Structures are given as C-alpha cells and as structure tokens.
C-alpha cells in the first residue's frame, strides 16, 4: 500500500477542464489523504450570488456580496458510495448545480474579486493546517500553499479540454453546443490568466504536466513517481 511519509501538501494548478480534479481525486484515494476542489468553493459563491439576486444580468453587486460573504457556508462531505467529496452550500448538496452552465458562465468574474479570494484562501489554508491534503485550483502553489511539498501545473490543448467538458455536459443531458463550450473554455482561460488578483501562472518550482495525450493512469503514475523521487511517499 502507498503511504505518505509525513504531513503532505500537494498543489495542483492549471487551466479549466484539464482534469485537475480527476487526478487529484485519484491521488487522494491512493494516498488516503483529503482532496479539496478549490474551484468548487468559487462555484458555491457564484451559485449563492445567482440565487440571491447578487448577480443580475451578468452584473455583480459587490456591496451586497461583501455583506453576504459570512452567510456563505461551504463544506465538503465524503460520500462513501461515490468515494469522493461532495460540496454543500449552507447545508444543501450542490455538487451537480455548481457544475451547470449558469454557474460556469459567471464564476470567472466572481473569482476576480479580491475580497472573495481573500476569504477563500483563508478557508483553504485552514483546511491544510492539520491533515495531508491535495488541493486543485489556479493559485494553490503560488498563493495558498507556496510551501507545498509538490506543485504541479497541469495543461492540455484547448480543443481537448473543450471536448472533455462537452462530453461531461452530454452525459448530464445539459443543453449546450460544442461551440458554446469552446467559447466558455477560451473565455475562462483568458480571465484566469489576465485577472489582477492571483492570475493563473506556473510557479517557478512547479512541474508541468501536459495530459493532452495521457491516460488517467499515466498521469497518476507520473505524479506518484515524482512523489517517490522526492521521498514523500513509500
């Protein structure tokens, strides 16, 4: 059995829809450590804002959002059946709702807001205080855990990422065209890379993992090898 040698923090950053959460989940299962999808947290804030009239016709009422921030309670619960974490917003299971097109269309804008990021980063850092953790996102290696034991920067070509996301929507019977998905992927890449607050960038000590032509198992093996080389697991 694979075991971690001591408290371990693994940071996985990269573009949207390049399989960060998939590999992070696999890794957490293999190492028996906690997985946190930090994107789910920004998605929860976005869902809350949509449900409470804080985003209206694409415009965010930032005054109302800052007032409401303490009312947004985000938790993760491990689901034994699916063997993965499920996201709860104020006690309600929202795992599927936060992945829908309406949240996806608005989440980049929410994630550019400084006070939202500050709050999410505080919550994320608290989650890594006591336990070994693998967290995926955009700023995990650069801002949340700059001292992480292993930092990965994941990428795949925009076309491949669009195809993966489109397949996910089709499996959930969501009404969206491939062109719309591609537009969303490109728009989010642009916003992730060009925002003022913690833009997506590869940290100097992050390893690049381009999984355009890799299977799930190959990318997991790559990370496990890197952890072994660093004597972080056995």
Q: Which residues bind ligand DC (CB under 6 A)?
A: 16, 38-39, 42-43, 107-108, 111, 137-140, 188, 192
Q: Confirm if 140 and 42 have CB atoms less than 8 A apart.
A: no
List Cβ neighbours of 40 (8 Å cut-off, separation of 6 or more). 74, 76, 87, 95, 98
Using the minimum distance from each CB to ligand DC, give the nearer residue, 183 or 225. 183
Using the minimum distance from each CB to ligand DC, give the nearer residue, 47 or 140. 140
State the nearest-atom distance from the C-beta of 2 to ligand DC, in Å: 26
State the nearest-atom distance from the C-beta of 23 to ligand DC, in Å: 13
Burial class (CB in 10 A: 0-12, 13-18, 19+), 28: buried
Using the minimum distance from each CB to ligand DC, give the nearer residue, 5 or 51. 51
Q: What size, in residues, is the chain?
A: 234
Using the minimum distance from each CB to ligand DC, give the nearer residue, 42 or 153. 42
Whole-number Å distance between alpha carbons of 90 and 131: 24
State the nearest-atom distance from the C-beta of 198 to ligand DC, in Å: 7
List Cβ neighbours of 220 (8 Å cut-off, separation of 6 or more). 23, 26, 27, 30
Whole-number Å distance between alpha carbons of 51 and 8: 37
State the nearest-atom distance from the C-beta of 118 to ligand DC, in Å: 12
State the nearest-atom distance from the C-beta of 137 to ligand DC, in Å: 2
Using the minimum distance from each CB to ligand DC, give the nearer residue, 187 or 210. 187
Q: Confirm if 192 and 107 have CB atoms less than 8 A apart.
A: no
Sign of the Cα torsion 184, 46, 153, 191 reads positive
């Amino acid at each position: 059995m694979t075991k971690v040698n001591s408290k371990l923090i693994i940071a996985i950053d990269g573009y949207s829809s390049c399989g960060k959460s998939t590999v992070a989940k696999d890794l957490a299962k293999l190492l028996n450590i906690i997985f946190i999808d930090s994107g789910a947290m920004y998605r929860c804030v976005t869902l809350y804002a949509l449900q409470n009239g804080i985003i209206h016709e694409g415009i965010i009422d930032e005054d109302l959002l800052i007032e409401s921030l303490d009312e947004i309670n985000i938790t993760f619960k491990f689901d034994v059946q699916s063997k993965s974490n499920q996201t709860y917003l104020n006690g309600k299971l929202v795992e599927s709702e936060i992945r829908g097109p309406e949240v996806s269309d608005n989440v980049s804008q929410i994630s550019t807001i400084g006070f939202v990021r500050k709050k999410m980063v505080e919550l994320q850092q608290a989650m890594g205080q006591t336990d070994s953790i693998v967290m995926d996102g955009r700023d995990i290696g650069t801002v949340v855990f700059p001292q992480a034991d292993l930092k990965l920067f994941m990428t795949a070509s925009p076309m491949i990422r669009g195809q993966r996301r489109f397949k996910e929507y089709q499996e959930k019977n969501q009404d969206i065209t491939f062109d719309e998905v591609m537009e969303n992927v490109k728009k989010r890449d642009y916003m992730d890379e060009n925002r003022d607050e913690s833009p997506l960038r590869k940290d100097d000590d992050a390893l690049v993992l381009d999984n355009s032509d890799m299977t799930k198992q190959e990318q997991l093996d790559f990370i496990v090898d890197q952890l072994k080389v660093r004597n972080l697991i056995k």
